[in-house]
Chains A and B, each alone.
Chain A
């Protein structure tokens, strides 16, 4: 019965792995040293979270975390399309990270009452680590949203691009109904509603406009990742993150 959780765990782990890799692309390139350190740390945390989810899946009979991350074709990933897009400019990076961290907080909080104990334990640890990410990205949003004309324009473009993509985080998981019925997870649409009630007013306070009517999205959501319908970017980012492993598969480092 519990092996029905594997596709769900894989989706969460894939989101963390791919976004973590995107964050790591700022190491050595971020606009200021503090942000270089921040995004390198955030990248490392996200990789840690992907490891936690892959490990839970392994205990249920799935392949090892290394196999899942480094020896699996991109066609078999189940990350949302949102995390696949290139890092863009720093405004887009900050916006994407904020939308992701706030969604992760809502999701991890909801897993605190999951009927599946290992997921409950795992979520409480991740929740504490994520608090630092959200504090950081939220502060950047609040400062950059209406600091100067350029910062506002860049953040506004980032919001317009990232928001429809970010709705893909709440696309139904494979086997979601069954997991909901067993009390393992909360329906994705409920998480989305809670998340919207947090991010929409916060971005509005930062003078950023979203394609919404009230708290309802008024745009076409960028879906497909949970069903394996990926962007053209996933193949490239997966090739990049698997490059070293694939030079000597199975080597003992």
Chain B
């Protein structure tokens, strides 16, 4: 453990970039847009985070990993508060985050705007061969945030991050 003499907000954000989503390890919690407020006070830090899906079982693990990471970089009092009222939407995921998902083999979520139903009608591009000849195999998938697709061109199953 190293001791910081001057803690800055930048140190915190840098550390949070290193904490990954346990279910999608190419995305950091910052990429996922679940960190909303960060404040520091001496060696103490308080963070407000929001869950992705209400029933996401990875939430506690994310919280523990944030605490472990910030302790490692020298913070003392670490308070991570989960705000269940804040809205989290996949529409706010950045283009860079979407590119990381695609590269990892997960089709990024369509932007839903005002209509989720309309967004779900849009063709979904296969993350492997980029064909749009794909079909929904099931509204649900291996985790709450994904659903199952099949590509008729490269004949490969793939997952798509659910628009929320």
Q: How far is the CA of A56 from the CA of B148 in the complex (A)?
A: 33
A132 CB within 8 Å of chain B: yes
A160 CB within 8 Å of chain B: no
A45 CB within 8 Å of chain B: yes
One of A34, A42, A48, A135 near B54 (C-beta < 8 A): A48
- The stretch of B3-11, B22-30, B136-144 in contact with A is B136-144
Q: Which residues of B contact A46 (CB under 8 A)?
A: 55
Closest A residue to B147 by beta carbon equals A132
A51 CB within 8 Å of chain B: yes
Closest B residue to A47 by beta carbon equals B55
Residue-wise, chain A 27-41 has the 8 Å CB interface mask toward B (1 for contact) of 000000010011011
* Inter-subunit contact A124/B141 (CB<8 Å): no
One of A126, A131, A136 near B140 (C-beta < 8 A): A136
* Inter-subunit contact B164/A52 (CB<8 Å): no
* Inter-subunit contact A49/B139 (CB<8 Å): no
B53 CB within 8 Å of chain A: yes
* Inter-subunit contact A38/B54 (CB<8 Å): no
A178 CB within 8 Å of chain B: no
* Inter-subunit contact A132/B140 (CB<8 Å): yes
Residues of chain A from 100 to 143 with CB closer than 8 A to chain B in the complex:
118, 121-122, 124-126, 128-129, 131-132, 135-136
* Inter-subunit contact B55/A48 (CB<8 Å): yes
Knowing A45-B53, A132-B162, the reply to whether A125 touches B88 (Cβ < 8 A) is yes
* Inter-subunit contact A118/B55 (CB<8 Å): no
* Inter-subunit contact A125/B54 (CB<8 Å): yes
Q: How far is the CA of A129 from the CA of B163 in the complex (A)?
A: 9
One of A34, A37, A124 near B87 (C-beta < 8 A): A124
A55 CB within 8 Å of chain B: yes
One of A38, A40, A118 near B85 (C-beta < 8 A): A118
Q: Which residues of B contact A55 (CB under 8 A)?
A: 84
The tally of CB-CB contacts under 8 A between chains A and B is: 69
B76 CB within 8 Å of chain A: no
Q: Which residues of A contact B129 (CB under 8 A)?
A: none
Residue-wise, chain A 76-108 has the 8 Å CB interface mask toward B (1 for contact) of 000000000000000000000000000000000
Q: How far is the CA of A154 from the CA of B100 in the complex (A)?
A: 46
A67 to chain B, nearest CB (A): 17
B86 CB within 8 Å of chain A: yes
* Inter-subunit contact A121/B85 (CB<8 Å): yes
Q: Which residues of B contact A47 (CB under 8 A)?
A: 55
A76 to chain B, nearest CB (A): 23
B57 CB within 8 Å of chain A: yes
Knowing A44-B55, A131-B117, the reply to whether A52 touches B87 (Cβ < 8 A) is no
* Inter-subunit contact B87/A125 (CB<8 Å): yes
Residues of chain A from 7 to 21 with CB closer than 8 A to chain B in the complex:
none
* Inter-subunit contact B139/A135 (CB<8 Å): yes
Q: How far is the CA of A121 from the CA of B54 in the complex (A)?
A: 12
Q: Which residues of A contact B57 (CB under 8 A)?
A: 44
Q: Which residues of A contact B154 (CB under 8 A)?
A: none
**A-B pairs with beta carbons under 8 Å apart, 18 shown:** A34-B138, A37-B138, A37-B148, A41-B141, A45-B144, A49-B55, A51-B55, A118-B85, A121-B85, A125-B54, A125-B87, A128-B164, A129-B53, A129-B164, A132-B139, A132-B140, A135-B139, A136-B140
- 8 closest cross-chain pairs (CB), A and B: A48-B55, A48-B54, A41-B140, A121-B85, A44-B55, A34-B138, A136-B139, A38-B140
